Amino acid sequence: MKRYKVGYTTGVFDMFHIGHLNILRRAKEQCDYLIVGVTTDELVSYKNTRAIIPENERMSIIESIKYVDRVVPQENMDKMEAWNKYQFDVMFVGSDWQGTEKWNAFERQFGEVGVDIVYFPYTEGTSSTKLKEVLEKILHEHISE
């Protein structure tokens, strides 16, 4: 396994769960310094939803995790802009993005500046989207009673 100096990853990190912890832990295992971009409330709309946990609280949660060295707001999806700001040499991403047109383009762009992209296996069965669906179902059942 290659060791990197500065790693970068991003996420909404809404309703923090084991999948989030897994990516942060695995990323820190491969780099000396880990920067984590937390998606702003405004940007969350790219998922056609809104965050349940406010941005400042999500950032506080991520800051408290021992694997994380620095937390920054992710205000847009421009990964090259982030690289220009933070000068990381690796970006960590969930494998659910691997092979997509968008990430193939990022691989080409990052390859030109010597940045690796490392994909981690997606944590099956756990996601904030699934947690929201369960909460909505419980709320709907409660209202129907």
Strand partners, 133: none
Which range of residues forms the domain containing residue 134?
Answer: 4-144
Residue 138 has pLDDT above 90, yes or no: no
Q: How far is the first Cα of the chain from the last one, in angstroms, to the nearest whole number?
A: 54
Please tell me the pTM assigned to this model.
Answer: 0.85
Position 133: which residue type?
E
CATH number, domain at 28?
3.40.50.620
pLDDT tens, position by position, 15-63: 888 889 999 999 999 999 999 999 999 998 766 778 889 999 999 999 9
Rounded CA separation 7/92 (Å): 7
pLDDT at 5: 98
pLDDT at 2: 84
Strand order in the sheet with 90-94: 70-74, 31-39, 4-11, 90-94, 116-120
State how many domains the chain has: 1
Contact between 2 and 30 under an 8 Å Cβ cutoff? The reply is yes
Residue 125 has pLDDT above 70, yes or no: no
